[in-house]
Structure 1
Amino acid sequence: MSCKIVKITMGMLSYLMLMMLVHHSVAMESGKRLVVNTTCLELAKPSNKQLRLSCNDPKRYHCLLDESYTREFEFCKQWMWIVKGDCAYFNSFGDGNIDRRYCREYTNLTCSPTEYPSYKNTNYSACYAKKGGYREETRPQTTTRTPVNENTTSEIIKVTSPSAEFGDSGIVLGVAIVVVLIVIAALLAVYILDKRHEWKLLDRLRARVTDVWHLIHPEHNENENVEGAGIGDNEQDLPLLSNDTYLVPLSSRTTNKVPQCSENTEKDQEDMFWKLNILKQYLIVSLKQNCGVEELKDAKVLYNASLVQHFGEALLKPLFQMNSLGDYHELDYCLVYNLLRNVCTERVKPPGKGWDCEPAVDDVSLGADIERIRLFWNKYCDEKENDIHSCDMILKRMKFRFGDISGNDEGVNSDEWKMQKEKITSVELKPDCQVEDSIVLTKGIKDVVERLEKENFVIVKGVIGSGKSTCLNYIDKYYKRKQWEVKRKEESIRRVDFCVEENQQVLLCCDNLFGAYNRGNFAGTPDIIESLENHDKKGDGELKVVLAIHDHVFDELEECQTAKILRNKSVIVDLNKMEAAENLLIFKEQRKRGHCTRDRQCWFRKVDFEHLQTTLSVNTGLIGDPLLTLIYCNHHDIFTKKEDTRDIMKALCSLFVDMLTKTPDLFHVLVYVMCIKNHDLNSDVPEWAAVLGDLSSEKVQRNIRHLDSFLECHVGGRTIRMKHDLFNIALFKVCSGYPDYLTFLLSHCHFEMIEEMLRPTSATRSGFCVLLNEERFKLLVSRLKADNLSVRMNDHPLMSNLKLGKKVTKLLPSKSFLKK
């Protein structure tokens, strides 16, 4: 008798525990809310935006009618494409998901004429026609709602409507108390009998509860597989159960099949072929959902060499000609799979065991199902048997993620399944170049690294803006990681710099050797060349030397100086040639920090790389492509005019002239920064800067926020300077055209720039120079005299003018003084 009581009690307890677990599962449900006393169409109005359920991303917010055409739900889910003539609806099975169904048009209610994303479903009123008529749209509502975050586990809804229903809380409370007392009494009785007779009923109960828990929460095992996360939303990758059956691993399924007649076998094979074709179509849907057209266009540039290596011209042609979402269906399935694997890495995570391996049973992420589709198809191609049940499970999960697309299938030809099929091969695509520490590793940078492994001396050469300084910055970080000491120099180098103490490992980097703008340091050139010719280290340590020099400085130096080291081609790395993939990544990195970061609606955010390449194609080669793309990212108007790219110096000068006319305060801040090279925002502006429109520290502080396209901050954001030397060159050229500003420059600009920028009128190279007329010699001589800089003018091209030469010679100290 006692055993029967215990069994009855066990049954009641199992039922109660099951109900409690189910209730717990529902109670813990988050991110969805039943729409009460209002409608989705009402909530869609801009004036009711604050009443909607709050989602992290506005595109994840949905308000849809359910499958029964009676209730409406708000929830946060990854959106999906809805084909024209269909509606999105809320499928409440499990945790709920987005599905689609045929849209019926009613009087004054509309369906979508085109494909659309599911979060725009409220644009089509026919999708909200309920059973018994669509009356809710016009019924007056009085609703006060408090927005709820996506991750909240409770709802705060206050409703003041005559239709609100309230249950009898007293009856509910009484029933609850009785149930609790019965449960406590039953548990106590079971515990006493179990201990007395050693039936181990509690252990059996615990096992049953565990089984029930796994039935209700199948995502438990999935969450343990971090690598198997889906496309960024766990709610989309839940396993779908059918008749309380788990997905059984392929390796553990029995291979003992009951013999079937040939007719049934052919029918099964044709059915499997149809299902696998639907699954392959889901590969295209997955790619369309997770990788946009522009992203694929970038991928064909970034992975060009690897794509050409692994895929034929016929397979790549649709990818290279892609322009719209409709072109996705022209892609080969093998190419689609490999694009999902290699390109969509942020939204399609690899299976827990990695690609090319059979996924774990409990891994039901999108990446795992994509890999299963490939493996299932390849088995079919090898005429090996596939598990139809497992195939059905993948179909259900894909339907939950992206909707049912089986209606789009045109059917399988009666003999098509018998034909030879092509397998889906898996390859690892390697990008043509990569980004490391926000620096694009170009072929030139890699060449410098490789040469320094074998040699101790390298010269990095290129036009202005070709990335020489970036190259030196990367080499600097690279050797610091190797625990080397790094010495940085600018424009000049001396023999003492080559001294290395015992057990020291030193990297010596000199940027803009002989001049940042044009050739300078004429008086010190012989000493620099002598140091380079005898660059062997002095001391017992280890020394490596990297020098960066502009092409136009290098050419000018070659004409008038004999330096064997500069003619040694084996030590020179040219950075002028840029690969398409390098330009693409540089452009994307620059755009992250350009004007578009302040304007999310900026049109330049949508400029694709093909358009950029077309504009860069007219570059005359005097300016590096990386500098041009930097200018484009900060000054979009220059990008729109090809003539500006052909003559970027003229375009920048026009920009500064326009600034002088319209916003002189901004112009004066730039002139001041150019003159002193670096300005500490914690320091006061010198008194002489007041000539620039009463410039003060306050004016500088107030205006620099409008000049971030020209200025950059360093040292904790408190030191400002020009983003690139080309801006300084253009600004100097503009100022030299105005007598007052030229007088200011010759009096206060740092002398290295004056020395490098000024050339006589007889000079042949004037692209980056300013030609100084004789009537301005007096101003220059005054500066030389005031700062005792006459010696610096030795061998300067301006000294070829006899008139200036005589004036400067008079300022030089006597020979006896020089000897002393």
Structure 2
Amino acid sequence: MEVDIVVSCVLIFSFTFLCPYVRGNLFKEVSSCPSDGVEWRERAQKKQCREPIPDFMCAAIENQPGRFGEICTIAGLSTAGFCAVLDEDTYNLNYIKCVAASGCPATAYRSSEVYRYEACYRSETSTPSTYTVIQNKLNTTRMHIAEQVGSFNAVTFIIYICFILVFLVIFIFWTKRKLFKHRESSENLFGNGNRISLLGNYMTSRLVAFCHADLDSLRYKMVTHSESLKHHFKETLCDPMVYNEDDLKKFDLDVVYILLTNFCDIPCPDNGWGNMPGDEDLSLGADIERVRILVNEYLDNKTLNVDEVNQILGRWENFFGVINQDDYIEFCPEKKIIYVKVKPNNVIENGVLVTQDIANILEKMKSKKVVICRGAIGCGKTTALEYVTKKYREDGWTIEWMDVSLDESCIERLPIHGIEKTVICIDNLFGVFGCQVFVNDLFNKFKRFMRKIVNRGKQPMVLLGIHQHVFEDISPENNPFPKDESLFIDLNKISQSEALQIYKLQQKNNKSKQGDISVEDFLRLIEQRSSDVGTPFQTLMISAAPGVFGNKWFCSQPFQTLTEHFNGLYNTERELFCSLFYIMCVTIFNPRADELDMDVVNAISTSLNRNTIAYYLSQLAPYTHDDGNVIEIKHDLITIALIHALIRKSENPWKVLKVYDNTRTLEIVRPDDPYARPHKFAVPLRREMFAKALSVLEEKTFYEN
């Protein structure tokens, strides 16, 4: 009973003495708290808080949703995940855990910045209250006091009062001392974090300034180094694409550092990136390294070399001006900054991008004697074979290269006896367009050749390249290839990063500059690319004429779009079309030759002359390759599209095709058979028209022989 009375006295006198102290915080209930820094400063000036409680504070009242209050207090540093609120009994500053689904403070923050976190103003800040328990205890205790008060003498009551007074004096002294130390520690931590945030803000401003001048360059570098970036920043850079300057401001300081040191062409400090700079090195790169070291030391020891920070800030203010301090980046108190040399997804050797497909060919040739490269026309097959055989030649191997359609004489010439360290490479196996898939005798001889190759030892090695549509045209009973699927390499798996790098290389080598498209637009286009035509051909045409082919229709249906484009040229710019067709027919055109091939001219257009072709050469650049001496069609797919357009539009196409290469014509025309559809690049002809075509070709062959 006496213990209960003592507890009651302590509680009663505690409320009696502490309430005036608590209510001295100038509490005032308000309808809402500031929503931004500007309104906060205006309300603070109106409140006019002074020492010893100099800081204005506005927050939600604990356990009372919808109620807010203003007080004067000593602002401190709140822990991440906690909200600053006003105690429901005393209205003093308090901190409780934030339980909202989103919007809670992710990092430590000063309590006067609670307006940044909307969740701290909502009802999620309520916690189970102990007010009812305390009030019931007080009521019960007071009843006991009323019953027992007559049994106490005055001396005992005075002793209790003195004890309580001494206790309260000690408690108040201890509380003030603790508050002073907490304020001093909070101010130091906030001041240091504030300085680091300002340093980070300057670094971010350098990144923004670089991107303001060349944002497309940063986009390109981030995409082409995406694998390395994702490896080092799995959570921060799930998508390495940067769309605007605001995206840059969201990056953490460690990401900003990596982008600055790897992609922004900042001169390397004297001691290199990732090392302590010399005292005499005051360059931008050296100061960026100093920031890295200062931040890491702060995270390890919670100490900061303020003098060095001020020196760096002074230099940067002189160079770049004053940064708006309201735009502090959110400093993450857990992420150390580590220098990483970001590696590209692919390397470029002698102007060739070493794609993953090329790497797969080289890897497979270490264990396989026969490797078959298969891909859509325009997939970069020839480039890949040339690169691989060049590497083997540099290692001392003999290369037997065949870049023409395989025929019987080719098979007879193939060296299969007594040659060590030999690679037999056959590109465009069975023809560019696949006419040879109908020659059974050729297939039988090729099967025997392959059998001999496989039955020999490790030498020679065979590297084959075949177009996908030609491979699909081979009937199962004539298939000359081994059944082992592990021998095949699919050349159609080009990543977005590889496509972008190929596009940039083609742009660099393109002599006819007809505009450009941004990295963002290019990646959006290439997502719609067709599998019927290889990506390198699509990027080739986009780089050559972005105004014509830089659209979603070309990417989704490249061959159809190219053919329709030539149809349009035939209708509206006949001389330009005929000039291009002349170059196709003669295969190699010498612009300095005195005379044209009159047989070709008479077949195409009698009005065609040397001056006409010379006039249109600049407009023909997207479709032709000029090495400085001669001009030729840039790609076989352009030839196919030209023939398609001619046969569709010309009244007598066979007069023209009579002067063109017989083999190519035979490879592309097929009888129109509803039961055996030809491949997508063939020209299907009705039976009577097909017979006429054969008659013209037979006549030409007779006179040539």
TM-score over 0.5 (shorter chain): yes
Do residues 563 (structure 1) and 485 (structure 2) align?
no
Superposed CA RMSD: 3.5
Q: Distance in 1 between matches of 2:219 and 2:240?
A: 7
Aligned to 2:669: 758
Do residues 574 (structure 1) and 490 (structure 2) align?
yes
Report the alpha carbon displacement of residue 296 of structure 1 after superposing the two structures with TM.
4.0
Please point out which of 583, 588, 597 is paired with 1:686. 597
Aligned to 1:712: 625
Residue type of the alignment partner of 1:308: K
Aligned to 1:813: none
SS at match of 2:559: helix
Residue type of the alignment partner of 1:690: V
Q: Distance in 2 between matches of 1:527 and 1:685?
A: 41
Report the alpha carbon displacement of residue 555 of structure 1 after superposing the two structures with TM.
1.1
1:710-789 correspondence runs (5 A): 710-714=623-627, 717-762=628-673, 763-776=676-689, 777-788=691-702
Show CA shifts across 1:651-691 (max 9, x none).
21221122123322221222122223333445543220221
Do residues 294 (structure 1) and 216 (structure 2) align?
yes
SS at match of 1:461: strand
Residue type of the alignment partner of 1:583: A
Show CA shifts across 1:44-82 (max 9, x none).
xxxxxxxxxxxxxxxxxxxxxxxxxxxxxxxxxxxxxxx
Q: Distance in 2 between matches of 1:308 and 1:437?
A: 28
SS at match of 1:488: strand
- Note closer, same or farther for the CA distance 1:502–1:529 as it changes in structure 2 (3 Å cut): closer
Instruction: Give the percent of matched residue pairs that are identical in Structure 1 and Structure 2.
Output: 25
Residue type of the alignment partner of 1:787: T
Do residues 544 (structure 1) and 461 (structure 2) align?
yes
Report the alpha carbon displacement of residue 383 of structure 1 after superposing the two structures with TM.
1.8
Do residues 453 (structure 1) and 366 (structure 2) align?
yes
Q: Distance in 2 between matches of 1:262 and 1:613?
A: 53
Report the alpha carbon displacement of residue 300 of structure 1 after superposing the two structures with TM.
4.3
Report the alpha carbon displacement of residue 747 of structure 1 after superposing the two structures with TM.
1.3
1:231-250 correspondence runs (5 A): none
Please point out which of 523, 527, 536 is paired with 2:445. 527
- Note closer, same or farther for the CA distance 1:277–1:643 as it changes in structure 2 (3 Å cut): closer
Report the alpha carbon displacement of residue 342 of structure 1 after superposing the two structures with TM.
2.6
SS at match of 1:354: coil
Residue type of the alignment partner of 1:584: L
SS at match of 2:474: helix
- Note closer, same or farther for the CA distance 1:559–1:613 as it changes in structure 2 (3 Å cut): farther
Deviates more, 1:327-336 or 1:630-639: 630-639
Report the alpha carbon displacement of residue 275 of structure 1 after superposing the two structures with TM.
3.3
Q: Distance in 1 between matches of 2:328 and 2:425?
A: 67
Aligned to 1:339: 259
Report the alpha carbon displacement of residue 713 of structure 1 after superposing the two structures with TM.
2.2
Contact 2:381 2:491 survives alignment (8 Å): yes
Deviates more, 1:781-790 or 1:466-475: 781-790
SS at match of 1:650: helix
Q: Distance in 2 between matches of 1:700 and 1:478?
A: 40
1:587-606 correspondence runs (5 A): 587-594=503-510, 598-599=513-514, 602=515, 605-606=516-517
Show CA shifts across 1:388-418 (max 9, x none).
443333223323432222x425789xxx99x
Report the alpha carbon displacement of residue 697 of structure 1 after superposing the two structures with TM.
4.1
Contact 2:422 2:461 survives alignment (8 Å): yes
Do residues 662 (structure 1) and 576 (structure 2) align?
no
Aligned to 2:283: 365
SS at match of 1:382: helix
Do residues 481 (structure 1) and 391 (structure 2) align?
no
Please point out which of 653, 657, 664 is paired with 2:563. 653
Q: Distance in 2 between matches of 1:582 and 1:410?
A: 37
SS at match of 1:705: coil
Aligned to 2:301: 383
Show CA shifts across 1:236-265 (max 9, x none).
xxxxxxxxxxxxxxxxxxxxxxxxx99999
- Note closer, same or farther for the CA distance 1:780–1:312 as it changes in structure 2 (3 Å cut): closer
Please point out which of 237, 240, 244 is paired with 1:316. 237
Do residues 585 (structure 1) and 498 (structure 2) align?
no
Q: Distance in 2 between matches of 1:682 and 1:619?
A: 39
- Note closer, same or farther for the CA distance 1:536–1:701 as it changes in structure 2 (3 Å cut): farther
Do residues 677 (structure 1) and 590 (structure 2) align?
no
Report the alpha carbon displacement of residue 441 of structure 1 after superposing the two structures with TM.
1.8
Structure of greater Rg: 2
Please point out which of 624, 647, 650 is paired with 2:534. 624
Q: Distance in 1 between matches of 2:417 and 2:477?
A: 35
Aligned to 2:313: 395
Do residues 348 (structure 1) and 266 (structure 2) align?
yes
Q: Distance in 2 between matches of 1:513 and 1:786?
A: 26
Contact 2:204 2:248 survives alignment (8 Å): yes
Q: Could you tell me the TM-score, scaled by structure 2's length?
A: 0.65
Report the alpha carbon displacement of residue 748 of structure 1 after superposing the two structures with TM.
1.2
Q: Distance in 2 between matches of 1:342 and 1:779?
A: 61
- Note closer, same or farther for the CA distance 1:541–1:532 as it changes in structure 2 (3 Å cut): closer
Do residues 607 (structure 1) and 518 (structure 2) align?
yes
SS at match of 1:450: helix
Report the alpha carbon displacement of residue 648 of structure 1 after superposing the two structures with TM.
2.5
- Note closer, same or farther for the CA distance 1:737–1:606 as it changes in structure 2 (3 Å cut): closer
Report the alpha carbon displacement of residue 568 of structure 1 after superposing the two structures with TM.
2.6
* Unaligned segments of structure 2, at least 5 residues: 1-180
Show CA shifts across 1:166-188 (max 9, x none).
xxxxxxxxxxxxxxxxxxxxxxx
Contact 1:502 1:541 survives alignment (8 Å): no
Contact 1:638 1:645 survives alignment (8 Å): no
Contact 2:269 2:281 survives alignment (8 Å): yes
Aligned to 1:112: none
Q: Distance in 2 between matches of 1:353 and 1:322?
A: 31
Q: Distance in 1 between matches of 2:446 and 2:228?
A: 45
- Note closer, same or farther for the CA distance 1:562–1:737 as it changes in structure 2 (3 Å cut): same
Residue type of the alignment partner of 2:654: T
Report the alpha carbon displacement of residue 309 of structure 1 after superposing the two structures with TM.
2.5
- Note closer, same or farther for the CA distance 1:631–1:598 as it changes in structure 2 (3 Å cut): closer
- Note closer, same or farther for the CA distance 1:598–1:580 as it changes in structure 2 (3 Å cut): closer
Q: Distance in 2 between matches of 1:619 and 1:270?
A: 52
Residue type of the alignment partner of 2:695: V
Contact 1:679 1:721 survives alignment (8 Å): yes
- Note closer, same or farther for the CA distance 1:364–1:673 as it changes in structure 2 (3 Å cut): same
Q: Distance in 2 between matches of 1:546 and 1:352?
A: 49
- Note closer, same or farther for the CA distance 1:503–1:775 as it changes in structure 2 (3 Å cut): closer
- Note closer, same or farther for the CA distance 1:562–1:629 as it changes in structure 2 (3 Å cut): closer
Report the alpha carbon displacement of residue 422 of structure 1 after superposing the two structures with TM.
3.3
Show CA shifts across 1:192-240 (max 9, x none).
xxxxxxxxxxxxxxxxxxxxxxxxxxxxxxxxxxxxxxxxxxxxxxxxx
Residue type of the alignment partner of 1:780: L
- Note closer, same or farther for the CA distance 1:779–1:276 as it changes in structure 2 (3 Å cut): closer
Across the two proteins, how many residue pairs are aligned to each other?
A: 512
Residue type of the alignment partner of 1:375: I
Q: Distance in 2 between matches of 1:342 and 1:456?
A: 41
Q: Could you tell me the TM-score, scaled by structure 1's length?
A: 0.57
Report the alpha carbon displacement of residue 375 of structure 1 after superposing the two structures with TM.
0.9
Show CA shifts across 1:506-560 (max 9, x none).
433222111112343744443334323323699x996433211111100111435
Contact 2:374 2:491 survives alignment (8 Å): yes
Q: Distance in 2 between matches of 1:474 and 1:379?
A: 49
Aligned to 2:19: none
Q: Distance in 2 between matches of 1:537 and 1:741?
A: 52
